[in-house]
Amino acid sequence: MNWFGIGAIYRFEMARMRRTLFQSIVAPVISTSLYFIVFGAAIGSRITEIDGVSYGSFIVPGLIMLSLLTESISNASFGIYFPRFSGTIYEVLSAPVSVVEIVLGYVGAAATKSIIIGGIILITANLFVDISVAHPIWMALFLLLTAVSFSLFGFILGVWADNWEKLAIVPTLIVTPLTFLGGSFYSISMLPEFWQKVTLFNPVVYLISGFRWSFYENADVAVGLSLAMTLAFLLVCLIAVSWIFKTGYRLRT
């Protein structure tokens, strides 16, 4: 394993975060804080509790997951798209680093950034509401798996996109709506029975449900199923990335 090559890619991507600190860290935290203020004040005054948890505390896992998904995709997709856009991707492909090492560098940096943001949001949330983490190890596991999975997904998106518009269309028009409809701000048990069944086709439901269970032991679906769905998505992304490098899809042309 070429750890020097992995480290070079990783450090380069992390340096980009330091150069754009406000955009990378401050902006997502401020946006999430506004969600706490708006939803906590406007809706929290009308919905006091959900499953025995105050509404302000209930939405914390969903808000962290919302930021985690969007930032993971954004960081990873931009990280691989910009070298393709500028033509420097050929330097990476011709370097003595393997496919695994390239993916570890880019995806590792994107996942690290997302986890840092998730941790900061968790700390910031304590300023607004009372939070308890019933299963910190499970929380860390879901956080890590989700960050890595969607960083891989972002990497795939960055390879697929051939312009800046395509780079933003999936997170904006697909991922963010699915997150809002995946139980970020409510329990799916509050929906009519028909829509509860429809919602189960939304993969984000399983991510948010498992993550929320690690906080309050409340879940819309079984924890084992949430973990299985997360691992399945991770596996699909790994297979897709492997195929991209094997065929050279949009990397060598």
Q: Is residue 253 part of a domain?
A: no
Predicted pLDDT of residue 148: 94
Is 41 a residue whose pLDDT tops 70?
A: no
Predicted pLDDT of residue 40: 66
Q: Is residue 82 part of a domain?
A: yes
Q: What is the pTM of this model?
A: 0.88
Q: Is residue 111 part of a domain?
A: yes
Predicted pLDDT of residue 144: 94
Most confident of 39-48, 123-132, 133-142: 133-142
Is 188 a residue whose pLDDT tops 70?
A: yes
Q: Is residue 252 part of a domain?
A: no
- Average pLDDT over the chain reads 85
The better pLDDT of the pair 65, 253 is held by 65
User: What are the tens digits of pLDDT across the range 158-179?
Assistant: 888 888 888 888 888 888 888 8
Is 212 a residue whose pLDDT tops 90?
A: yes
Q: Is residue 158 part of a domain?
A: yes
Q: Is residue 198 part of a domain?
A: yes
Q: Is residue 186 part of a domain?
A: yes
Q: Is residue 79 part of a domain?
A: yes
SS3 of the chain: CCHHHHHHHHHHHHHHHHHCHHHHHHHHHHHHHHHHHHHHHHHCCCCCEECCEEHHHHCHHHHHHHHHHHHHHHHHHHHHHHHHHHCCHHHHHHCCCCHHHHHHHHHHHHHHHHHHHHHHHHHHHCCCCCCCCCCHHHHHHHHHHHHHHHHHHHHHHHHHCCCHHHHHHHHHHHHHHHHHCCCCCCCHHHCCHHHHHHHCCCHHHHHHHHHHHHHHCCCCCCHHHHHHHHHHHHHHHHHHHHHHHHHCCCCCC
Is 21 a residue whose pLDDT tops 80?
A: no
User: What are the tens digits of pLDDT across the range 45-69?
Assistant: 677 778 888 888 888 898 899 889 9
Domain holding 45, by residue range, is 3-247
**Which of 75-79, 99-103, 133-137, 196-200 comes out lowest in average pLDDT?**
99-103
- Provide, rounded to the nearest whole percent, the portion of the chain with pLDDT above 90: 29
Predicted pLDDT of residue 229: 92
Number of domains in the chain: 1
User: What are the tens digits of pLDDT across the range 220-250?
Assistant: 899 999 999 999 999 999 999 888 878 877 7
